[in-house]
A and B are shown apart, each in its own frame.
Chain A
Amino acid sequence: MSEKIVSLSDATFDEHVKASDVPVLVDFWAEWCGPCKMISPVLEEIAEEQAGKIEIVKLNIDDNLDVTRRFEVMSIPTLILFKDGEPQVRLIGAKPKGALLEEISAYL
């Protein structure tokens, strides 16, 4: 996994997402989800290419049910973009890189 992508937990989520100077894209995922694995390399590319403009983090839903429930995630992969700690955009399901970038471009 890219060094730029950190994994958050129920314990670290709020503080990390609020403290970030740039928008944070949270990848809600699980080991058993095929489409989640498919978008992993796409997210790594975006993290490298857009370094300094956006931070990408992962949240394993199996281990972190509090945050998962709080944001009412009901399908994975779900990506939620946070700005100043507030959710701005929610993307459900795996998408190609171009479509992902287009959806979040307004926040970069």
Chain B
Amino acid sequence: MPERRKVLIIGSGPAGLTAAIYAARAQLEPLIIEGEPSSNSDQPGGQLMLTTEVENYPGFVDGVMGPELMGIMRAQAIRFGAELRTAKVSKLDLAGGSPFGAWVGDPDAAEPTIAADALIVATGARSLMLGVPNEDRLLGYGVSTCATCDGFFFREHHIAVAGGGDSALEEAMFLTRFATKVTVIHRRDALRASKIMQDRALANPKIEFAWNTQVTDILGDTKVAGLKVRDTVTGAESELDVTGLFVAIGHEPNSTLLKGQLELLDNGYVRTIEGTTRTSVDGVFACGDVQDDYYRQAITSAGSGCMAAIDAERWLEARGE
């Protein structure tokens, strides 16, 4: 028999854990399937587990370390009785309406592991890779998606960061602690990053910009020995002499689990009804980055996690449960 729960939350970033805190305080005894360890951002605690200092989360005058902030949120959820499991949901069945089936482990098992009256999806987003030759082979040998994990190994090296948003500039700035030079490779001639981050990066003497440039291949037998790059305007090809490449070109939603189960936008994000966390399936709510390709902040994720818990609570109440 599937384990019956009033509220099941999938994901444990700021959205999932805030939903957990609210649902637990509302006596809904939520179960959180928090994910499994990995070194990309699809993991317990979410994307903040791979960051260092978070300066813009309200309540922390001097900033807070990303992993520490997630540890605090987790402890807060547990304090109110939320139950967390370090596992991944392998399959969902939303077709028959509430209760919704969720499989943990073998997706071919006849019965779901959990049957939930209300479901909160907070699976977040993960880093995109470049998709160029040799990227997979050299991941961990000079190619990295985690500057905070791997920057240390590039003391006195020249390294490259691919990307032009806030995360790319944050990584570049962090890496200047170790590297002699950091080249930010961006395929356009202007950055997407916020003004404050741009000003800081442009003023940093160790950071150079390769504008209108795209990485086409990664060179090296046993570790990164250089990059092949192309000028996106002239098409001219050249090589960049670096020993490391940090990839920060953006994110994609962790919504594979939801395909064919509820309505997704063309870009893979979950469609929610504006001003709410309701999805196309009655009783299923979505919060955080899996439904937000615009704000994508820890605080907006937490805010929408709170909304999802309240939406779920009122939905359960309205059905008389």
Contact = CB atoms under 8 A, between A and B. Distances in A.
Interface of A: 30, 32-39, 42, 61-62, 72-78, 92-97
B63 interface: no
A38 B49 contact: yes
B36 interface: yes
A29 B218 CA distance: 26
A34 B150 contact: no
B149 interface: yes
A72 B45 CA distance: 29
B45, B66, B146, B152: most-surrounded residue (chain A CB, <10 A) = B152
Contact of A75 (B45, B66, B67, B140): B140
Given A72-B223, A95-B37, A35 B146 contact: yes
Contacts of A61: 152
B140 A78 contact: yes
Contacts of A77: 39, 149
A61 B133 CA distance: 30
A34 B148 contact: yes
Given A39-B37, A94-B39, A75 B149 contact: yes
B153 interface: yes
A36 B52 CA distance: 14
Interface string B48-69: 0110100000000000001100
Nearest to B67: A34
A interface: dominant SS? loop
Interface residues of B, number: 26
Contact of B36 (A33, A73, A96): A96
A38 B148 contact: no
Contacts of A73: 153
B39, B43, B66: most-surrounded residue (chain A CB, <10 A) = B39
Interface string B176-203: 0000000000000000000000000000
B144 interface: yes
Given A37-B67, A76-B152, 5 more contacts: A33-B149, A34-B49, A35-B146, A75-B141, A96-B88
B interface: dominant SS? loop
12 contacts: A35-B43, A35-B50, A35-B146, A74-B153, A75-B144, A75-B153, A76-B150, A77-B39, A92-B39, A92-B140, A94-B38, A97-B36
A79 to B, nearest CB: 11
A52 to B, nearest CB: 25
B142 interface: yes
B140 A93 contact: yes
A92 B146 CA distance: 12
Contacts of B140: 74-75, 78, 92-93
B46 to A, nearest CB: 11
Contacts of A42: 37
Contact of A35 (B37, B88, B142): B37
B233 interface: no
B26 to A, nearest CB: 29
B44 interface: yes
Contact of B44 (A30, A36, A38, A95): A38
Contacts of A35: 37-39, 43, 49-50, 146, 149
B227 to A, nearest CB: 16
Nearest to A42: B37
A34 B139 contact: no
B10 to A, nearest CB: 16
